[in-house]
A and B are shown apart, each in its own frame.
Chain A
């Protein structure tokens, strides 16, 4: 089992560019989520999905889109990157009482 994988590990974007952060899990978990981690603020929930075809907004969804066409994959899209989106992004999956986190993507928007 690879667990939760994320690509890329690092990314630098210019303001206004778009990109997709990839997330995949091989544990057949129904629930997946995206968080961003900023200094002094812990992790904040961006979007989550309770199963294929179902997504919902978390605490800080503005500027991000998600889709869930398969159980395994849950990509996060930035349509027009802004410097405020500079952060470390974590994907997680869970089934029951534990969330499993990926290694993270460090994104810098200049």
Chain B
């Protein structure tokens, strides 16, 4: 079946450091890929998405590129801020749109000032 694997956390960085959170997937067909963010005590929010190979999703300085050849969708940000501290989830959907998401286990990110 479909699955998503994220890099193990937690991840701790200093402010203005470069961030990469790795995500790889296994899927049949051509899934859509998503990154969601969960701030403390809140539900999940969509951070960015990509629906086909070589698409780049971007939002709030975060980027991720849909790489079909390596089945990856790594999240990157050039200069993190304390406010980026959260849990980040990679997810895929094998249906049109965002239904029936399959999530990775989540990566907790802490940014120190």
Contact = CB atoms under 8 A, between A and B. Distances in A.
Given A43-B89, A90-B44, A104-B43, A96 B98 contact: yes
B101 A43 contact: yes
Interface in A12-33: 31, 33
Contact of B46 (A35, A99, A104): A99
Interface residues of A, number: 25
Contacts of A92: 44
A97 B98 contact: yes
A98 B106 contact: no
Contacts, number: 59
Interface of A: 4, 31, 33, 35, 40-45, 48, 50, 58, 90, 92, 94-99, 101-104
A58 B46 CA distance: 21
Given A40-B105, A42-B106, A101 B45 contact: yes
B51 interface: yes
B42 A94 contact: no
B100 A43 contact: no
